[in-house]
Amino acid sequence: MCGIFGVMDKRRQMMDGSGIREALSMMNERGSGEGAGYVAYGIYPDYRDCYALHVFFDNACENKAIVDATLEQWGSIECDEAIPTCDQLNLKVNCTPWRYFFKPDASLAPGSASPEKDVVTNLVMQINACANGAEIVSSGKNVGLFKASGWPEDVADYYRIQDYEGYIWLAHNRYATSNPELWERPDPFNLHDWSVVENGKTTTYGANRRYVESFGYNCSTGTDSEVIAYLIDLLTRKHGLDINLAIRALAPPYWDEIDRMPEAEQNLNRALRFAYGSATMNGPFTVVAANPDMMVGFTDRGKLRPMVVGECGDRLYIASEETAIRAMEPKVESITRPAAGEPVIGRVAP
């Protein structure tokens, strides 16, 4: 079920999308041809101080004016345009991808520790909750997300992925189990800094969704990865956990493992389990997530979905299969398969 891929250059050296396209297409047996997506960091240097909002319009002529008016209530639009695309024979287009470069009005979130991001979060939740023929699929600074219902090659060629350069890329080859025609359903999912791809299926979706929605998030697509993206934002940005603790809260050790830990570590892990029981994810899954400063990978506690890690020079790779890593980096220097419960955290240089 599903193929996922991530690559990060620790020195922020740019990579075009052609290698990502090749890597993801090596895992086509994991997909169904009904969804694929890519997200890249660093692709909009000319608008690095703006939030790049990627939007799917059912009908831009009818729906765009509503979104324009909503954005103007929350800040200012610096530029907007249709995302360049190239029609593909095997890809049925059912929406218009658009992008806005947007500056939020921080005064609309007084007292917030991260006012711009709170404004953007509220904006995304408001637009995506309404039946207005528009869906914001990414909303970060200097980051863009590209996805559709189709095979990875067709989706990449439709968006001309090779024309973009980024220092972190995530990609996903979807094995659709529902709503294959909806372009917003495939991974990746993004909320300002954080993007997520997942292979698997959590059995705690309902509890996780109710928990995150109790903090004001609105889950509009019914997918695990949307909830995971919001959980990571909640735990790291709003609750101030570092990423190690956030991952431990989402995928904690078993109780019997905690019982065997030194006392201080026992106390920490018990506190996390009690505090974040409703955020704990169960079921078979592997998650790769990224923000502008890092890329992380983690699995369920039994590692019921694969995660392979590669390193070559300054580049870190995380994928469902080794063959995908070698497709992009034939001379990969190190291949490892982390144990269950062993997260992988790579950081870019300051």
Select from 131, 109, 134 the least CA-distant residue to 121.
109
**What number of residues does the chain have?**
350
User: What angle, rounded to 10 degrees, do the helices at 224-233 and 205-213 form?
Assistant: 40
Please, where are the H alpha helices in 105-220? 115-129, 152-159, 205-213
Phi, psi dihedral angles at 192 (to 5 degrees): 35, -105
The contacts of residue 8 (CB under 8 Å, 6+ apart) are 167, 168, 169, 290, 294, 295, 315, 316, 346, 348
Residue 139 is classified by DSSP as: E
Computed on alpha carbons and rounded to an integer, the radius of gyration of the chain in Å comes to: 19
Q: Is 2 considered catalytic here?
A: yes
Which residue in the list 2, 50, 95, 219 is annotated as catalytic? 2
Q: How far apart are CA 139 and CA 55, in angstroms?
A: 9
Long-range Cβ contacts of 224-228 (<8 Å, 24+ apart): 224/198, 224/200, 224/285, 225/187, 225/188, 225/189, 225/196, 225/197, 225/198, 226/189, 227/202, 228/189, 228/196, 228/198, 228/202, 228/281, 228/287, 228/289
Catalytic residues: 2
